[in-house]
Structure 1
Amino acid sequence: MPFWKPFSVTLAVRMINLYRLLPLAVAAICFSLDGTLGIVVAYVLLVVVAWAHHAGEREINGGIN
């Protein structure tokens, strides 16, 4: 397994945390964003990204179907 594969996943997780989840946390604290709404907004982003990258789909012959 090449080094860049786990590194790119780690980098993606850090970018999501920094640019999407941190502003939601700040909004919840500073602007009284409802916690339920914050969680829904956070999960919608993660679900859309997973769906766009075909996460969880079966690989056949090394490709994604």
Structure 2
Amino acid sequence: MGERVTLVGKRISRVGKRFSRSGNRISRVGNRISRAGNRVSRVGNRVSRVGKRISRAFGGIFIVRNEIT
């Protein structure tokens, strides 16, 4: 049993090394994506703020129009 366990352990460690390498690459890409996502969300916040302002303005116009009709 002991030998078998060590063999399995060696194989696992080899696979683990390979995975850790790919994992590093994946995490790097993930960091880049998250950074881009942060930038997008920031822009989105700005857009939503502008959108709120516009919707308020349009809301006023619509209310006036409704009162007229």
TM range (shorter): 0.3 to 0.5
Structure with the bigger RCO (C-alpha within 8 Å, sep 6+) is: 1
Q: As a proportion of its length, which structure holds more helix?
A: 2
Larger Rg over CA atoms = 2
Normalised by the length of structure 2, the TM-score is: 0.40
More strand by share: 1
Q: TM-score if structure 1 supplies the norm length?
A: 0.42
